[in-house]
Structure 1
């Protein structure tokens, strides 16, 4: 289908922006050659290489000499005086660009012939579209290209991005060449009208390194009058690197950046991000910096609310508004261990030394359900399981809540620093110390043991 499509002659010109830090020179040049070879010359305004303060000598004079000789006047090199991180480095690339359209890419990609025309055509029709070429994979060891299935890009409540199934109306149309509506972007490549990108506040310069900015852009574009789509007819392959230059604690940066997104864009749903990272709502212990400018931007653009976005753009995202308490659950008779989901296949909760990560994220709901494990993502993937007393076993089961027939066997009475009592059986969740043999999590007649959960929502 893609080969049959025809595009206009007067498409806008694109500035292609690559960001690199300590990348192999050969890989950067491969990306540049690929861009030049597979983008029609009349459409390619320029290529901008942003060096985010690399240390490697070959990325200094040798890189500039090569591109100036091979592509005189076509390639600009922008050097950051200190390492800014991917987000702010992309903003520097945008400032240097002069094309009507800007394309942002990692510096380890390969363009497929015919990638540019469908993208530029969609932006020409509507300048408020952010376009994502479909991503294929290049294997790092042998540079073999592996085609990925057509997909949209979603994310979890921690704001980690992931591939998701295209929306139902795309499947129903039965035409695999059609654009795919997407809630957000994976982040390694996106194309946007240069002026429109400036109008909606670019990426958030208050974020550090990377992680979360790709979700912020998706939410913001949809809420503030634009749209985001993946184009199956435009394909750009990306090397999945094993060693990443910014990788010193990317989890920390993503967490901090995610909280900025939550505070600016998510309204009453911002608590989902705090719950997902198992952080208290008050004083989470992370300085997210000043978000007043981003809030003012949202106001000035007269953007919609986050509820609209969940209903219309990301309806498959699971919602957890019924949460009243979350975090690690500890028993007064065993202070150093926490309730834990244990090995998935065993379907029973266990006690395990406390670490506060996903397997120990307990969540107590208004209905009296006690869920255990990381928050779920979309309705097409399994949800967090819940604790059940089936009345027979002395061990608590961990099951898919929707499949448990007896409502009462999955409901628990619990108040902070009180017992956890099953409404169906009257038994309590308790710990049994077996000396050298360890500690068991069991169900039995209540003996007055007390549990505390890390965070209660007032």
Structure 2
């Protein structure tokens, strides 16, 4: 064969070579243009950041003079931190490297964010908003609804509106809605108003003292897209109210509550193959931060409109969700920082003609609504621990009761026993571990503990059952210990003559536990080791005496008995 290349093949090779050179040249031009565009984009971001900071300084300069105690966080430090700051990465590395999120198209997953506030510092509020807008995909962030609940800073909402319109003028997809209540309506009413005004597919309720971390939305949307009756919460990282330090939240905790209807963190038990960063069910929400389908939220009749100002709304919604076919999940791959303030940074308006504080009266009112609406026969557990709630008026009409019954029928809601069995076995266990609880009455007086003159010791007496701080007791079924809420147990110093009653920390040691063990015999309380009965022979004195059947001075009745008296 000849080594020469035919003429037509030579032409083809030349054409291919020229095409390759042209392609390389075009690719080089594209890369150069991209770098130029990238440079322009960075320059634009720098200018935008500079303009934003100028607007920020002007905005917060009009903050009224208030102390740190007023806001319950370091206002001076908040004013100097800046409009947005870098946050530590707190989600697990697998959230980025190993997970893929199946997100619905943005046209079917528009998110409306509702932020309500009362007397929030300007710098803290704006940092919440800017971190949200900056770290949320523009295609999904449909609407921002900001509601000022009659703050003292009367010009805040107008100033905020003016600033944000300038900052986000180029974001045509983001709708900004600003509202102000001229009279205090409370967080609960304001959130319901925001939900009704919203036009997005999903609602995010966000507190006004938060910082949104990177990639917070995708893990939540991924879960919601799989289940229309789900409500999800990010895992809340902690922002220290004094130092504003941002630190990692604990993914081994879930939200719950006790029989007093106070929120508590509960330990999360992992199954053998369960990773801590996986989404997990939670009996309740914390911090008031949650995301839910707007249609589903409205079908659940929103937050109970009879709840006043603040408190209990998250517990009421959580119970309602679980009982009526929904679920709650905490999603650790989604992170939002939240300031848990040491105490309320606002006053509660007077609600009732009641001798307790306005905050306490509001709590009792809201908790009583939850108990009456959802706890069924278990509401007695609440009333035993909070007897003052019985005197709180609810002003419910027959129509209100009928509407609640109608919703339960429409949604086929379960009874509260189902919640105890399937959602919060911890609450059920607490119920099962007690054989009696509440005030412990002898005649018209109740067993009460108080400090002695030395302040280091406690004594037990009989006192008026109508004192607001009268001692609540728990008789533990297994150990027989008679305990107060502060976990001090009634015991006997048997080495003394005669044996003396003592109030000491409840012991887990088997020998010491014997001195704190009581048996229930009819209405008598019999000490297990001495076989003597608790007795009230004179005035408010309490002693141990030989047991006498049908003795009125040895008859003690709990507010609630779980076991039949023998």
What is the TM-score of this pair, normalised by structure 2?
A: 0.68
- DSSP 3-state at the match of 1:316: helix
Corresponding residue for residue 404 of structure 2 = 294
Tell me the distance in 2 between the aligned counterparts of 1:329 and 1:279. 16
Change in 2 beyond 3 A, CA 1:45/1:409:
closer
Matches within 5 A, 1:246-257: 246-248=346-348, 249-257=358-366
Q: Give the match for residue 119 of structure 2.
A: 22
Which residue of structure 2 aligns with residue 379 of structure 1?
none
Quick one: distance in 2 between partners of 1:457 and 1:285?
A: 22
Instruction: Tell me by how many angstroms 1:264 deviates.
Output: 1.4
Tell me if the contact between 1:408 and 1:424 (Cα under 8 Å) persists in the aligned partners. Answer: no
Q: CA deviation at 1:287?
A: 0.9
- In 1, the alpha carbon distance for the partners of 2:544 and 2:213 equals 60
In structure 2, distance between residues paired with 1:295 and 1:407: 50
Q: 187-196 or 365-374: which moved more?
A: 365-374
Structure index of larger Rg: 2
Asked if 2 retains the 8 angstrom alpha-carbon contact of 1:157 and 1:272, the reply is yes
User: 1:371 aligns to what?
Assistant: 482
1:270–1:403 CA distance, 2 compared to 1 (3 A): farther
1:6 to 94, 100, 110: 100
Q: Report if aligned partners of 1:386, 1:401 keep a CA contact under 8 Å in 2.
A: no
Residue 181 (1) aligns with residue 285 (2)? no
Tell me, yes or no, if the aligned pair for 1:391 and 1:425 is still in contact at 8 Å: yes
1:98 aligns with 2:199: yes
Structure 1 unaligned blocks of 5 or more? 376-383
Aligned to 2:86: none
Correspondence 1:211-290 to 2 at 5 A: 211-242=311-342, 244-248=344-348, 249-279=358-388, 284-290=390-396
Equivalent residue for 1:165? 267
* Cα pair distance change 1:43/1:90, threshold 3 Å: same
CA 1:364–1:391: 2 relative to 1, 3 Å: same
Residues 53, 18 of structure 1: CA spacing in aligned structure 2 closer, same or farther, 3 A cutoff? Answer: same
Give how far 1:218 is off: 1.2
The question of 1:303 aligning with 2:413 is answered yes
* Aligned partner of 2:449 among 322, 325, 340: 340
Taking the aligned partners of 1:427 and 1:176, their CA distance within structure 2 comes to 51
The count of corresponding residues between Structure 1 and Structure 2 is 434
Tell me, in whole angstroms, the C-alpha distance in 2 between the residues paired with 1:139 and 1:414: 52
CA distance in 1, matches of 2:393, 2:373: 15
Instruction: Evaluate the alpha carbon distance shift between residue 42 and residue 84 of structure 1 in structure 2; reply closer, same or farther with a 3 A threshold.
Output: same
**1:368 Cα deviation after fit:** 12
Rounded Cα–Cα distance in structure 1 between residues aligned with 2:482 and 2:362: 27
1:204 to 283, 288, 304: 304
1:152 equivalent among 233, 254, 259: 254
Alpha-carbon distance in 2 for matches of 1:122, 1:202 = 21
Contact 2:238–2:247 (CA<8 Å) still a contact in 1? Answer: yes
Alpha-carbon distance, 1:339 to partner: 2.2
Deviates further, 347-356 or 68-77: 347-356
| Aligned-partner SS, 2:431 | coil
Conservation of the 8 A alpha-carbon contact between 2:490 and 2:516: no
Match of 1:67 in 2: 164
C-alpha distance in 1 between matches for 2:246 and 2:451: 38
Deviations 1:31-61 (A, max 9, x none): 1101001111111111110111222134242
CA distance in 1, matches of 2:448, 2:179: 51
Contact 2:144–2:175 (CA under 8 A) maintained in structure 1? yes
Give the Å deviation of 1:189.
Answer: 0.4
Q: Whose helix proportion is higher, 1 or 2?
A: 2
**Superposition deviation, residue 425 in structure 1:** 3.2
1:77-124 per-residue CA deviation (whole Å, 9 max, x = no partner) reads: 122242111111110110111111100011110000010000011101
Moved more, 384-393 or 252-261: 384-393
Structure 2 residue aligned with 1:381: none
Q: Is residue 358–residue 374 contact of structure 1 (8 Å, CA) maintained in 2?
A: no
User: Residue by residue, what CA displacement relative to the aligned partner does 1:349-380 show, whole Å, maximum 9, x if unpaired?
Assistant: 633876856771024689995733239xxxxx
Paired with 1:229 and 1:222, the residues of 2 have a C-alpha distance of: 11
- CA contact 2:439–2:470 (8 Å) conserved in 1: no
Counterpart of 2:534 in structure 1 is 429
Query: 1:343-422 maps to which residues of 2 (within 5 A)?
Result: 350-351=460-461, 360-363=471-474, 371-374=482-485, 387-389=490-492, 391-392=494-495, 394-396=499-501, 399=506, 409-413=517-521, 415=523, 420-422=525-527
What is aligned with 2:129?
32
Root-mean-square deviation (CA, aligned residues, Å) is 3.6
| Cα separation, 2, equivalents of 1:201 and 1:407 | 52
Distance 1:325 1:40, change over 3 A: closer
